[in-house]
Structure 1
Amino acid sequence: MPLSFDIATVPFSRYGSFLTISYLKAAGSRPAGIYLRTVRGGDLTAGAAFRIELLEKQIPVAYQVQATPTHLRLESAGGSVDLCICNATTVRWKTDGVGLRLTLEGGDYDYAMQLADDRWEVNSFLNEVRFMAKCLQGALSVDAPWNRTRCTHVALQFEPDESGCAEFTIEEYRTVWQEFPLSTTFEQDVEQVAAEFQHWLAGTLQAGNCASSKGRELAAYITWSCIVPKGGYLTRPAMYMSKNWMTNIWSWDHCFNAMALIQSNPELAWDQFMIFFDRQDESGLLPDFMNDKYALWNCNKPPIHGWTLLWMMERSNWIGERQLLEVYEPLARWTRWWFNYRDDDRDGVPQYNHGNDSGWDNSTIFQERGAVESPDLCAYLVLQCEALMRIAERIGRPHDGTAWRNLGERTLALMLEHFWHNGEMRALRSGSHEPLGGDSLIVYLPIIVADRLPADVKEWLVTGLADSCKFLAPHGFATESLSSAAYEPDGYWRGPIWAPVMMLLVDGLVRAGERDLAQTAAERFCRMAEQSGMAENFNARTGEGLRDRAFTWTSSVYLMLVHEYVTSASSAS
């Protein structure tokens, strides 16, 4: 049985395309329904394009949606519409027994213009693109009332011919439309897209008998379909976090997607890893997020890039001297940025100015205003220094290597001196160094440098992670202690389980020699993701998927954990 999914939670799209079809809730004047969308412009601007309606005798009728990775069917009592996204910019449609209407409205200066008997151009200012509607079979009529400077709406209506069928394409473009005559049938296009997805699926990480699991196939589809092409602000093909509404890439999310690709698709993995360094500020800062239109610089994300690079180098010989020369200076500038620009009290311990800078936006360590010194940041920088030391040695810069080793050792010593007091780790207020409240999992992330820690520190970290009354929830690691007064089931970083944290902690536990605990946590997370979907985060107690349920970093982490730590016998198929 091919994978099927609900487009109310998982959009229908394909590799290399900004086009997607998904269900949108009612918002303002927009009615609820199934929409053909473009995700250009990021999550602040990308929105609905055409609302999709099936027609019987010119009247809209209810329909059901059947979605697979390569084919979408809309079916009513009187007929059906089949469609596929046959290339990066084109949706191909075929109706049987019903008509179809696509309605665009809401954008200033939108208009429609007939260019030929079978062809209309629709200019969507809101989405900053144009669409070409071309009728291949049946009839196309357009309702586009003009009001001063725009069409109040544009409704494209396709009706079947005497055989009961209609066929047409909708193409997205920015400037000039170029016609490419169709040389294939609809069915051949579906077969070609299916072959492309199967090729991706065959290269997706797998684990023994789990190779045919629905979880693996769903994760593969989400990662495949969320790739958008380079262009505009994007210097390389980019795996968006989702094609629901998180239609950007963030500067730590991209690391997990790169990790999941490094063994099967190393060039694309390297593109994911390097894309933020292509837009690096001269100070060394990386933007918080990017899309095809712009980047946001108001905050940033934690420096997990050294940890990521070391992880990938351990698993792939593809990363050679050319790649190391490419990344060395950008990674060095990113590392120095933290010491140069995020250490206001000049104590050698960098800080987070806002929760968003840590990736843990509203964690309880950020519940009061002010800069925070947190042990996880030091741990990341220790590994970043190690990565730079190894690279420097491989590219013939031994003096640089010594300097990075010394900085890493000094940062580790300061981390222990600074945060380890009275038998526990605590985050501190920068400047005053007063301990901060809450019982957040973030202070346990130094487990990623477990092989460098004193025995008592490592024991405290492992004991807390293993405690089912604190962090080891039924489905993985809760981000706020289950016994904390600040715990919230859907509190974002105050309780729910997050995939990136699972990956960091499982990897750290393995390095600490705690493979059984790492495997237990990994198995719990993977079973939950198989049952609840690849959500942005999860209720720690119930396993319910929260917020966006088609997230790529969750898919990537699921695939890595299943591949490395979950046995085929323990994973649900």
Structure 2
Amino acid sequence: MFEIKKIPFSRFGSFITISPNHQDDPDGPLFIRNIRNGDNDFGEVFRIDLICEGAPQLYTAVLHPSILRLESEKGIAEFCITEAKVLQIRSHGVGVRLTGITGAYDYAVKVENNRWEVNHSLQEIRYMLTSVKGSLEMDAPFIEQRCEKIVADFHPDPTSAEMECVIEEFSVVYQPRTYPDFREGHRSVETEYEQWLKNTLNTPEEYRRGHELASYITWSCVVSQEGMLPRPAMYMSKNWMTNIWSWDHCFNALALAKNSPKLAWDQFMTFFDLQDKSGMLPDFVNNRFALWNFTKPPIHGWTLRRICEQSDFFTLDKLQEVYEPLGKWTKWWLTFQDSDHDGIPQYNHGNDSGWDNSTIFHKGTPVESPDLSSFLVLQMEVLAEIAAKLGKKDEAEKWKQESHDLLTRMIDHFWDGSRFVAKRSGTHERIESDSLVLYIPVILGNRLPSEILTRLVEDIKNRGFLTPFGLATELPESSFYRHDGYWRGPIWAPTTLLIVDGLLSSGEKELALEIARRFCAMASKSGMAENYNALTGEGLRDPAFTWTSSVFLILANLLHNNRMF
């Protein structure tokens, strides 16, 4: 059972979501939402009320993975998304009122005695409202170009006090159909979710609460292939981060690779399907559009290596599919993101790094940062491995040499004798920063000289980043540290995983496991939040995030099995 004021009700494959407006009024009314079209709009379609003799009733929401139950003194109503585009509702003792959140051109039209179509042009979707048991009363006066209001009251049968109805999405033409009994539909969804839960990575018993929450969030946040989405996509959230971003998808793929490899591959390849001819990947995508103003860091080689370790599904054919796109992505950074032509790629904006407002950007951009070079060193190494498997011997040698050369340039450029630093591109002016991003090169492990690796590990352990809950993204003693400062302090799941993986690769298993324990204990207690207060462990921002859920499952599985992947 989860809190509806934090965790939306939805299901695998569906754009239908029920929740309050978490940002504006988390304790307010529930809405049926359409989460298509990006995160600029909350997507409210209908406000939900329980009614008795026409009067709204106070209710309490009880959320389970397969059903949402609203309980009032007069009766109850249950909501189940039985198919991706089908919401079925039943009630006893009370009716259900759906009040349209309408705009210009929205209207309702009667189709049959028990069926009305609502054309919600504001959300670019149509709904067929069907009364199955009881009756449907519509209040939808049409004035000039739209209905002044759209209110659908589903009343219970006066004899049985029971009501059943169906809300179905459609785009152009509704295909008349019958619907399964509510109980049958619910049972089907319950069975589907139980299979997902069974396939979720195993975690220690002490994290059961976190395991159940992470499993539900990842299952319920998948939407179907539609429009600009070339494959089924796990959104970051169905609260308000209703897109898929071009490094977030990697962490979700990692958590799926072992037991749901096809879905993992779909997550991983989504952005390569959309890749620009220059090699660039978009920042994010939803069903309607992709954003090209920014991008995200090239962690894809590291990710590909890790997902391939988990399943035989990732065959030579899969490597052939990704080889050219991964190479173009790598070359984009080396060709178009090096304006001073010094062989060190740069970030032109903090958003491109994923660390949007990190202190390495507080003096402006472009910025050369060692994390970017580290990712590309690994990515070219992976390209060399793939080329060798594909029989491309010359290309394999070329990628291997380029990886080695970039590693050498990176150390010469960024290591000041005691730590890695970031620099302004062009002037190479050192940027004073106490950001954890400067320790991401630990992912290179033993590729680094031993004295550098030893210093990185010691600083991660002892410099002050490691709090009782995990790794702060800005040193808490820094003048730039903020409790809720996004990348200037809070603990984030993806950076935690990158550093844990780097520590394991460096032979620092004890420290890696300790960081994993702290993070998992925090997430299991505070929920799968977008990020966390580094000093209290309190969840911050979006409380139902998929990459946090995925990283929690990966790290808890590490603690369960005593090994990563």
Q: Same fold (TM over 0.5)?
A: yes
1-structure distance, mates of 2:13, 2:274 = 21
- Secondary structure of the 2:62 match is strand
Of 55, 59, 63, 1:59 maps to 55
The answer to whether the 8 Å contact 1:130/1:172 transfers is yes
The answer for the alignment partner of 2:484 in structure 1 is 490
Q: Which amino acid aligns with 1:391?
A: I
The answer to whether the 8 Å contact 1:139/1:159 transfers is yes
The answer to whether the 8 Å contact 1:522/1:566 transfers is no
TM-superposition CA deviations, 1:374-394 (whole Å, max 9, x none):
000000000000110010000
2-structure distance, mates of 1:127, 1:143 = 20
**Number of aligned residue pairs:** 561
Residue 40, structure 1, aligned to residue 32, structure 2: no
- Secondary structure of the 1:206 match is coil
- Measured after TM superposition, the shift of residue 33 of structure 1 is 1.2
The answer for the alignment partner of 1:7 in structure 2 is 4
- Measured after TM superposition, the shift of residue 369 of structure 1 is 2.1
Of 255, 268, 272, 1:273 maps to 268
1-structure distance, mates of 2:98, 2:235 = 26
Q: What are the equivalent positions in structure 2 for 1:127-146 lying under 5 Å apart? A: 127-146=123-142
- Measured after TM superposition, the shift of residue 57 of structure 1 is 1.7
Question: Scaled by the length of structure 2, what TM-score is found?
Answer: 0.97
Change (3 A) 1:293 1:94: same
- Measured after TM superposition, the shift of residue 34 of structure 1 is 0.4
- Secondary structure of the 2:167 match is strand
- Measured after TM superposition, the shift of residue 152 of structure 1 is 2.3
Residue 375, structure 1, aligned to residue 375, structure 2: no
Change (3 A) 1:173 1:46: farther
1-structure distance, mates of 2:204, 2:241 = 32
Q: Which amino acid aligns with 1:522?
A: A
Of 157, 161, 165, 1:164 maps to 161
2-structure distance, mates of 1:566, 1:523 = 11
Of 467, 490, 502, 1:508 maps to 502
- Measured after TM superposition, the shift of residue 32 of structure 1 is 3.7
Of 19, 43, 50, 1:22 maps to 19
TM-superposition CA deviations, 1:415-434 (whole Å, max 9, x none):
10000013211000101111
The answer for the alignment partner of 1:555 in structure 2 is 549
2-structure distance, mates of 1:478, 1:180 = 54
Root-mean-square deviation over aligned CA pairs: 1.5
The answer for the alignment partner of 1:571 in structure 2 is none
The answer for the alignment partner of 2:119 in structure 1 is 123
The answer for the alignment partner of 2:230 in structure 1 is 235
2-structure distance, mates of 1:109, 1:32 = 27
- Measured after TM superposition, the shift of residue 21 of structure 1 is 0.5
- Measured after TM superposition, the shift of residue 488 of structure 1 is 0.4
Change (3 A) 1:471 1:511: same
Gaps of 5+ in 2: none
The answer for the alignment partner of 1:291 in structure 2 is 286
Gaps of 5+ in 1: 569-573
Q: Which amino acid aligns with 1:12?
A: F
Residue 176, structure 1, aligned to residue 170, structure 2: no
1-structure distance, mates of 2:453, 2:123 = 52
Of 302, 305, 312, 2:300 maps to 305
Residue 198, structure 1, aligned to residue 184, structure 2: no
The answer for the alignment partner of 1:423 in structure 2 is 418
The answer for the alignment partner of 2:68 in structure 1 is 72
TM-superposition CA deviations, 1:213-264 (whole Å, max 9, x none):
1211111111111110101001100000000000000000000011111110
The answer for the alignment partner of 1:539 in structure 2 is 533
The answer for the alignment partner of 2:328 in structure 1 is 333
Q: Which amino acid aligns with 2:79?
A: L
Question: Scaled by the length of structure 1, what TM-score is found?
Answer: 0.96
- Measured after TM superposition, the shift of residue 209 of structure 1 is 4.1
Q: What are the equivalent positions in structure 2 for 1:339-488 lying under 5 Å apart? A: 339-467=334-462, 470-488=464-482
State the percentage of identical aligned residues.
50
The answer for the alignment partner of 2:86 in structure 1 is 90
- Secondary structure of the 1:131 match is strand
- Secondary structure of the 1:424 match is coil
The answer to whether the 8 Å contact 1:523/1:566 transfers is no
The answer to whether the 8 Å contact 2:11/2:220 transfers is yes
- Secondary structure of the 1:421 match is coil
Deviates further, 490-499 or 38-47:
38-47
2-structure distance, mates of 1:454, 1:150 = 70
- Measured after TM superposition, the shift of residue 179 of structure 1 is 2.3
- Measured after TM superposition, the shift of residue 52 of structure 1 is 0.2
1-structure distance, mates of 2:66, 2:428 = 55
2-structure distance, mates of 1:486, 1:344 = 28
2-structure distance, mates of 1:408, 1:217 = 41
